[in-house]
Amino acid sequence: MHAQRYEAVVVGGGPAGSAAAFTLAAAGRKVCLIDKSVFPRDKLCGGGLTFRSKRAFEQVFKRRWEAELINASKDVSFFSKGRFLASVTVNANIYFTSRLSFDHYLVGLARDAGADLKLGDAVSHIDVERRSLTLRSGETIVFDFLIGADGVNSIVAKALFGQSFDPAKVAFALETEVPRDRLPQHGDRVEFDFNAARWGYAWAFPKPNAITIGIGGLHRLNPDLRGRLDDYLRRKGLDPSKLKVKGQYLPAGDFPAVPGRGNVLLCGDAAGAVDAISGEGIPFALQSGAAAGHAIAGALARPAGRSALNIYSDDWAIIAAPLRQAKFWRWFIYPRWIQRLFALTFRSKRVRGWILTESNHARNRSWFRSRRIKFMSSVNR
């Protein structure tokens, strides 16, 4: 069988992979997006879309997202191990989406931009030296550049480094979808329960058609995570035995200094691009996927210039800056000895306002000023 050749192959059809494939296709490059699933497909994820996510989406895909995919809320309640702390109405909307619909939409944008799609066919082998990969169907694909956007269990990262993540450093999350008619009083309220898990929290996120309830924390500190989730569900009057629960590792706090090697770049969860405090990953997935795509487009446009990894590493340093900050500041939030003090402090309206609005928005504005410069210049380097 004759092998197909692409300038770039992207493995993984989530936000990072779709952003990378869209960016390359929009730059006129021959790119293939591969995913083991057929879309729409289900995906474990809280589905939170913050201000950072909205701005990243608009910048990468050059449009506003489809309103029917999103549910917005401004009402947030905070608890600490089941004890009520405060309720607030935030200034800016907090958005939520079902990854079933959102990822399908993003893959469609990549396709419409000109990316070839190979869905429902998993990668079975990668030969980094020969710049080729083999699909489960037996098809061989040759590439100039490869992007690993295939999640925390990335086969691309394993091909590069022998393992995709360090189990001692990552988090683990459990989640279930509850139909809205089973929680009629919940409405569109967002809920966080600090200390429901060790070095983590529980959440209830209002999606368009359901309430997503989950819990997550450092994997090595939470051998009883399922029991903690069951307790959280029972406090809401739900029977855990009647709900389907899914689990997944989260690479929160475990990201590399250099996200790739040679002609292979990693982005999204495959690069550990997840906030170590909140577990937020979608904006970093969009940012890193687009940055990887721009880096490869720039390297292809100027073969004698800087390497794609060199270009991407500059952008990665900016993307990873808030990840490093979160990795540091979680030591002032999650240790057991500080949880009681944190709960007392969080009752202060002034402290809540600073945490939820001003400081976060300032970091976002600073990030996007830097990113606009980077994205506009990367393909010309």
> pLDDT, tens digit, for every residue of 250-270?
888 788 889 999 999 999 999
Residue 74: which pLDDT band, with cuts at 50, 70 and 90? confident
Confidence of residue 98 (pLDDT cuts 50, 70, 90): confident
Q: What are the tens digits of pLDDT across the range 235-244?
A: 999 999 999 9
pTM of the model: 0.88
pLDDT of 104 over the 90 cut: yes
Instruction: Enter the DSSP assignment of 147.
Output: E
| Least-confidence region, from 68-82, 114-128, 198-212 | 68-82
Neighbours of 282 (CB within 10 A): 27
User: How confident is the prediction for the chain on average, in pLDDT?
Assistant: 86
Tokens of 370: 């830097």
Q: What percent of the chain has pLDDT over 70?
A: 88
CA distance 107 to 112: 9
pLDDT score at 29 = 97
Q: What's the one-letter identity of residue 61?
A: F
Q: What pLDDT is stored for residue 342 in this prediction?
A: 64
Q: 4-72+96-164+258-340+353-378, which class in CATH?
A: alpha beta
pLDDT at position 82 is 81
Distance in angstroms between the alpha carbons of the first and the last residue of the chain:
37
**Residue 129: phi, psi to the nearest 5?**
-65, -40
Residue 346 pLDDT grade (very low, low, confident, very high; cuts 50, 70, 90)? low
- Distance from C-alpha of 271 to C-alpha of 265, rounded to nearest angstrom: 9
Rounded average pLDDT over 201-210 = 89
pLDDT recorded at residue 363? 44
* Helix, strand, coil % over all residues of the chain, rounded to 5: 40, 25, 30
The helix (H) or strand (E) run that includes residue 5 is strand 4-11
Q: What is the 3-state secondary structure (H, E, C) of 103-115?
A: HHHHHHHHHHHCC
Q: Of the ranges 120-129, 208-217, 342-351, 362-371, which is most confident?
A: 120-129
